[in-house]
Amino acid sequence: MTTKTDQIIEQVRGSRVWRSVFRSGSGNSTLHRALAIQQNVFLHLFSTKVRKRMVSFSSTWYLGTLTLGTFLILVVTGILLMLYYHPSVPQAYADMKDLQFVVSSGLFLRNLHRWSAQLMVFLVFAHMFKVFYRGAYRTPREFNWVIGIVLLLITLLLSYTGYLLPWDQLAFWAITVGSNISSAVPIVGSKIHFLLLGGNQVNANALLRFYVLHCVVLPLTAIVFIAIHFWRIRKDGGLYVQQSEPRAQAAAAPPLPAKETK
Amino acid sequence: MQSIRKYISSAWQALFGDPVRAFGVVSLVLLLALAVTPTKEHFSQWHSYQRKYLSLIRDRGDAVSMRRRFEPGIHQIWMPELGVVDRCTTCHLGLSEASLADEHQQPFRKHPAIPHSVDGFGCVICHGGQGAATTVSEAHHSERDGEAPILPTRYIEAGCGQCHQNAMAGTPQLNLGRTMLARYGCVRCHAVTRPDGTKMMPTDHPPSLVHVADKTTREWIYSWLKDPQAYAATATMPNYKLTDQDASDISAYLISSSKPQPGDTSAASVKNASAGSATNPADGASLYGQSFCSSCHAVQNAAGNVVGGDVGPELTRIGNKVKPEWLNAWLNNPRIYDATTPMPHYRFTPRQIATLADYLHSKTDADYGANVQLAAATPQQIARGRRLIIDGGCAACHEINGVQTPQNFAPDLSTIGSKPLAQIAFLPGMEHTVSTYIVSKIRQPRAFGGAVKMPQFALSNAQTDALTTALLAQTGRSRTIPDTLRVAAAEDTNYQPAGHAGKLMTELACFSCHRINGRGGDMAPDLTYEGSSVQRQWLTDFLKNPNTLRPSLIRRMPRFNLSDSDNKELTDFMLAVYQTSAVDPDTAPSATNPPQVVEQGRQLFYSKFACQSCHIVDTKTDKGYIGPTLTQVGSRLTPAWTYAWLKNPQALRPGTAEPNQKMSDEDARALTAFLMSLKGTSGKGAKQ
């Protein structure tokens, strides 16, 4: 049975169509496996080869991958939500309620988007703490840490812009308060405030602006930075694992306090 | 501890031991999670209501046809121009099922008959609530984000009032509420704008206080201010809960600011006609009755019941209030003291004035205000009185010397019915609905804090509910509905008859009771077409000495003692001006007819059309009290009017109780002939 299935899979992978799509071809050799990674537009961002302990659970707790997972869920559910939502003042709240009242599984869709968003913010922070406390932000990965900071900001902005879209009282006042914070910036504060809301108070223009930011500008920016983030992992020598570091660098690192007390 | 750890690690191994197994387990969990949502939908509230409905109609006689009309799934009424998305009919499935009239359990009850179809207007337009919702709690009770719960059924007429600004037969509570808004002075302090932009205007007649000292004393004003209802139970003036000092200071200012006007008793010193000869109290009572004073004025009788009309003030304790010389002058001609009073100028003889004045002065309550002793007021107290008057907004209703009428004195109530709950400061323990808020505000305005200026009105529960209904109709939605759906309020025109007759009609205050060309009261018949309707001789006699036309009515036309020339002037004017083109004297039957036609008319009267069920022709046998007595109709109405009336009463007087019998020309002619034969005071015509 198993051999038969394997045979069929081998046959498919050897076919012309498959080869035209996946150029690495079939085979189990190290070269083939490396090519499978290197020749895939998405996977080639990653190292073709990693040490097993780099991908072990304990070294990263998979926090970065989980964050990506929530991001993908948000993209999918977000696109589905966009099918039911009009960013206009009389319609936005009613559309949001209609998801609950009449759209099949609409409430599930909305809740999935909402909880994934909350989870993503949590995971981003957890990921950064993990990186920070393991010292993975240090040379040569300091630039990737900065990219990570940018991604944190994008995540928070996505969260903030999404907050207005239900167009309920909570959203309205939260954005009113939040946008007023920007007016506190010296000299250009009121200009920023005006630019952000498309007016002097939260209204139709603000809703449209936040919608465009939330659904187009910020996600695209996030994708670009996520790509750079992943690409830099390979460029900076793979995922950080303490034991994988060259000895010289490990010695150069300041001794741990625990070691000192011994 | 060790065993638990071992157990967990073996469970982990079993579930996620190798990648394939972990993938399988995760997939299974995801599948289950995705299955939960459709399951939840299947067990949703509206599904279970639709299942219940199906089992309810299963055993009914017309189950087959009802089931055919039933459509599973979410129902929706969508009216973009009204901004309505109503899904109420998803659960309320029997709204238009006639055979569910016996069903009393919601949500399957049949809707009571109304002129509108559910499909044409939806539900939330009238009932409020969230039409788009598909759960009971969201649809009926949601308060979040500017949403308002549904309108309690007792105020449901407010729903009608959003489009209908006119009084309707089916909405007595709303009509009363609107009348009260105008009559109790509400709209003098609060602006209430209708959706079409017109303002609700007051219809009350608060007396001017610019020369109040001519009419009454400071002591009476003090007692009145302290508690208006103690003086007259039907007083519409609210209680301002004034302290003794406040009432004393305000009364001091009113008296001190009062300036004599030309014609005042103090200035002109009208001769007291009763001087010298005492009058008979029984004469006074009978003159009071003959003049039909009680059509407008009420008096509390010995049993404590208030009897009489509510156009003028209650007269139970009138002797306590007015000065004798003022009363004489007032009865002589009320328009000298108050040019805009609804009271007619009766043209009493001096003797009659004396009789009536003595009779009214006998209506004195010795206990009322007996222990009011007011010391002469200091200038400081008078100044304080003025400040209190300004603070209290007294001049919003009363004209007062030295105080300007305040503008926008109280909050605008034009959209009070849809006031967001988040903007209302509810009292602790109060139900969070706009209706409860309005009711409490009317009942106990001062409970909402010491700074509230609104006074305490003496209203019954029915009156409070009526006012609440009228205010709840003032919604934001009513402003956004298309103009084509709006029914405008029937506003009085400013019709004013011209010439000497017009002056006479103003003096006699005809418009206080009669309506002419869209202006006037509804107590007495509309006189717009009176000239087409009645015969000259009858009108002259009637103005001289009005007799009873409608036995079922208590309020009747008083006698005005008009001079012959005035009488002729008025008769001529009415006959010439109040004509309608709908009545054509040329095609109408003549006043005198051959006996066989009259007899044919009598047959039609008693058998075919059974007119005697409402009208009296023969006082001995007929019992109809609803319509006017017709024993003398032949000398009252013109044949042309009678004929046109019989053909189509509603065309001449819309809304009259007389049914349109759709008579043939021949029947109408015969009946007219019969009615025109009814001339005599002895019922001669009926006996022939």
Instruction: Output B615 or A66, whichever has higher pLDDT.
Output: A66
For residue B274, is pLDDT > 50? no
Q: Which tens digit of pLDDT belongs to each residue from B303-337?
A: 888 888 888 899 989 989 998 889 988 998 888 88
Q: Given A94, A101, A104, which is nearest B134 (Cβ)?
A: A101
Q: Return d(Cα A122, Cα A131) in angstroms, integer.
A: 14
DSSP characters over chain A: -HHHHHHHHHHHHHSHHHHHHSTT-S--SHHHHHHHHHTSTTGGGS-S---GGGGSHHHHTTHHHHHHHHHHHHHHHHHHHHTT---SHHHHHHHHHHHHHTSTTHHHHHHHHHHHHHHHHHHHHHHHHHHHHTTTTSTTSHHHHHHHHHHHHHHHHHHHHHHHTT-SHHHHHHHHHHHHHHTTSTTTHHHHHHHHHTSSSSSHHHHHHHHHIIIIIHHHHHHHHHHHHHHHHHHTTSS--GGGS-HHHHHHSPPPHHHHH-
Q: Whose CA is closest to B473, among B171, B120, B163, B116?
A: B163
Q: What percent of chain B has pLDDT over 90?
A: 27
pLDDT of the residue at A262: 43
H-helix segments, B43-171: 45-58, 63-69, 118-121, 124-127, 136, 157-161
- Asked if B172-203+410-485 and B499-577 have one fold, the answer is no
| B320 within 8 A of B368, measured Cβ to Cβ | yes
* Predicted local confidence at residue B589, as pLDDT: 72
Mean pLDDT of B414-422: 90
* Most confident listed range (A26-40, B175-189, B371-385, B527-541): B175-189
**Is the minimum CB–CB distance between B132 and chain A shorter than 8 Å?**
yes
Is residue B239 within 8 Å of residue B456, measured between CB atoms?
yes
Q: Which residues neighbour A205 within 8 Å (Cβ) at sequence distance 6 or greater?
A: A197, A198, A199
What is the predicted pLDDT for the residue at B267?
47
ipTM above 0.90, yes or no: no
Q: Which class would CATH give B595-687?
A: mainly beta
Whether the CB of B83 is below 8 Å from some CB of chain A: the reply is yes
Assess whether pLDDT exceeds 80 at residue A27: no
First-to-last alpha carbon distance for chain B, in angstroms, is 120
Q: Are B281 and B358 in contact (CB under 8 A)?
A: yes
CB contact under 8 A, B130 and A97: yes
pLDDT for residue B483: 86
Per-residue pLDDT band at A256 (split at 50, 70, 90): low
Which phi and psi (to 5°) does residue A98 adopt?
Answer: -65, -30
Between chains, do A102 and B87 touch, taking CB under 8 Å as contact?
yes
List CB contacts (< 8 A) between A100 and chain B: 138
Angstrom distances, CA of residue B97 to CA of B46, B61, B120, B358:
19, 13, 16, 67
Q: Max CA-CA distance within chain B?
A: 126
Which of B42, B142, B145, B421 would best serve as a mutation to test chain A binding (most A beta carbons within 10 A)? B145
Give the residue on B whose Cα is nearest the Cα of A108. Answer: B37
Alpha carbon distance B650, A166 (integer Å):
55
Residue-wise pLDDT tens digits, B543-558? 887 766 665 566 678 8
Q: What local confidence, expressed as pLDDT, does residue B609 receive?
A: 84
The pLDDT assigned to A29 comes to: 86
Q: CATH says B172-203+410-485 is which class?
A: mainly beta
Query: In this prediction, what percent of chain B has a pLDDT beyond 70?
Result: 95
Rounded alpha-carbon distances, angstroms, from residue B251 to B49, B151, B219, B243? 66, 44, 8, 12
Q: pLDDT-derived band of residue B683, with 50, 70 and 90 as boundaries? A: very low
Confidence tier at B117 by pLDDT (50, 70, 90): confident
**Which residues lie closer than 8 Å to B640 by C-beta, 6 or more apart?**
B532, B583, B584, B585, B587, B588
Nearest-CA neighbor of B337 among B322, B319, B352?
Answer: B322
Q: What are phi and psi of B17, to 5 degrees?
A: -55, -50
- Given a cut of 90, whether residue B87 has pLDDT beyond it is yes
User: Across residues A9-19, what is the average pLDDT?
Assistant: 86
CA-based nearest residue in chain B for residue A169: B145
Q: What per-residue confidence (pLDDT) applies to B256?
A: 92
Phi and psi, residue B50, nearest 5°:
-70, -35
| B472 touches B158 (CB < 8 A) | yes
Enter the tokens of residue B498: 């011209």
Strand, coil or helix: B307: strand
Contacts by residues B104-107 (CB-CB < 8 Å, ≥ 24 positions apart): B107/B49
A169 and B138: CB-CB below 8 Å? no
Q: Do B132 and A98 touch (CB under 8 A)?
A: yes
H/E element, B515: strand B515-516
Which residue numbers of A have CB closer than 8 Å to B's CBs?
90, 93-94, 97-98, 100-102, 104-105, 107-108, 168-170
In the structure encoding, which two tokens stand for residue B415, read together?
């959209």
Interval A113-117 mean pLDDT: 96
Q: For residue B347, is it left (φ>0), alpha (ψ between -120 and 50) or beta?
A: left
Q: Which two tokens stand for residue A168?
A: 């309920």
Closest partner residue to A94 (CB to CB) among B38, B132, B134 is B132
Give the C-alpha separation, B265 to B324, whole Å.
10
The overall average pLDDT reported for chain B is: 86
Whether residue B181 has pLDDT greater than 80: yes
Our CA dihedral for B39, B45, B47, B49, rounded to 10 degrees, sits at 150
The arithmetic mean of pLDDT across residues B597-621, rounded, is 83
Q: A93 and B145: CB-CB below 8 Å?
A: yes
Q: Which two tokens stand for residue B656?
A: 């009259």
Whether the Cβ atoms of residue B338 and residue B208 lie closer than 8 Å to each other: yes
Q: Where are the domains of chain B?
A: 2-42, 45-150, 172-203+410-485, 212-361, 499-577, 595-687
Q: Which of residues 22-61 of B touch A (CB under 8 A)?
A: 36-38, 41
CA distance B365 to B281: 17
Tell me whether B138 touches chain A (CB under 8 Å).
yes
| B664's tokens | 């043939």
For tokens 């000065």, the residue is B323
B672: tokens are 């007219």
Compute the nearest-CA separation of A244 from chain B (Å).
25
CB-CB neighbours of A14 under 10 Å:
12
pLDDT over threshold 70, residue B488:
yes
Which of B37, B79, B421 to substitute to test the interface with A, most A CBs within 10 Å? B37
CATH node for B212-361: 1.10.760
Q: What is the mean pLDDT of residues A172-189?
A: 91
Cross-chain Cβ contact B87/A169 below 8 Å: no
Residue tagged 């695209």 (tokens) = A220
| Residue B682 scores a pLDDT above 50 | no
Quick one: pLDDT at residue A248? 47
**Cα–Cα distance, B58 to B108 (Å, whole number):** 14
Q: For the whole model, what pTM was predicted?
A: 0.82
Alpha-carbon gap, residue B95 to B74, rounded angstroms: 15
The label of the residue with tokens 């399988």 reads: B24
Please report which confidence band the pLDDT of residue A243 belongs to, taking 50, 70 and 90 as the band edges: low
The residues with which B434 forms a beta bridge, in sequence order, are none
- CATH class for domain B499-577? mainly alpha
Helix (H) / strand (E) containing B306 = strand B306-308
Check B85 against A93: CB less than 8 A apart.
no
Specify whether the CB–CB gap between B616 and B630 falls below 8 A: yes
B238-272 pLDDT, tens digit per residue, is 999 999 999 999 999 999 998 888 777 754 444 55
Cross-chain CB nearest to B133 (options A90, A101, A105): A101
Homologous superfamily of A58-239: Cytochrome Bc1 Complex; Chain C (1.20.810.10)
Q: What is the pLDDT of residues B448-471, one digit of tens each?
A: 887 888 999 999 999 999 999 999
Interface contact flag, B132 A93, Cβ < 8 Å = no
For residue A28, pLDDT over 90 is answered with no
pLDDT digits 0-9 by tens, A52-61 = 888 888 888 8
Contacts for A188 with CB less than 8 Å, ≥ 6 apart: none
The domain ranges of chain A are 58-239
Give the residue from B376, B373, B367 showing the smallest Cα distance to B244.
B373
Q: Is the pLDDT of residue B128 over 60?
A: yes
Q: Report pLDDT for A254.
A: 53
> What three-state secondary structure class fits B551?
coil
pLDDT of residue B266: 57
